A = this chain, B = another copy of it.
Amino acid sequence: MESRCENCIIRQFNSLRAMSKEELKHVSDSKITKTIKKGEPLFEEGDKLNGVYCVRNGISKLSKLSANGKDQIVKLATKGEVLGQRSVIAEESTNLSAIAVQDMEVCFIPKESITNTLQKNPNFTLEVLRHMAHDLKEADDVIVNISQKTVKQRIAEAFLYLKNNFGEDEDGFLALTLSREDISNVVGTATESAIRIISEFKKKGLIHTSGKKIGIKDERKLMEMVEGF
1/0 per position for A17-32, CB-CB distance to B under 8 A? 0000000000000000
A137 within 8 A of B: yes
Chain A facing B: main interface SS: helix
B133 touches A66 (CB 8 A): no
A140 within 8 A of B: yes
Q: Which of B64, B89, B126, B146 contacts A133 (CB 8 A)?
A: B89
A78 within 8 A of B: no
Q: Which of A33-65 contact B (CB under 8 A)?
A: 64
A106 within 8 A of B: no
Which of A3-11, A113-121, A209-217 makes up part of the contact surface? A113-121
A86 within 8 A of B: yes
Q: Which residues of B contact A70 (CB under 8 A)?
A: 148
A-B contact list, 27 entries, CB within 8 Å: A64-B143, A66-B145, A66-B148, A67-B149, A68-B228, A72-B147, A74-B143, A85-B133, A86-B137, A89-B126, A95-B137, A95-B140, A118-B122, A118-B129, A125-B125, A125-B126, A128-B129, A129-B132, A132-B132, A132-B133, A136-B136, A139-B139, A143-B143, A146-B146, A146-B147, A147-B187, A147-B189
* 15 further interface pairs, Cβ-Cβ under 8 Å (given A68-B228, A72-B147): A66-B148, A72-B144, A89-B133, A92-B137, A95-B141, A118-B122, A119-B122, A121-B122, A132-B136, A139-B140, A139-B143, A143-B188, A146-B147, A147-B187, A147-B188
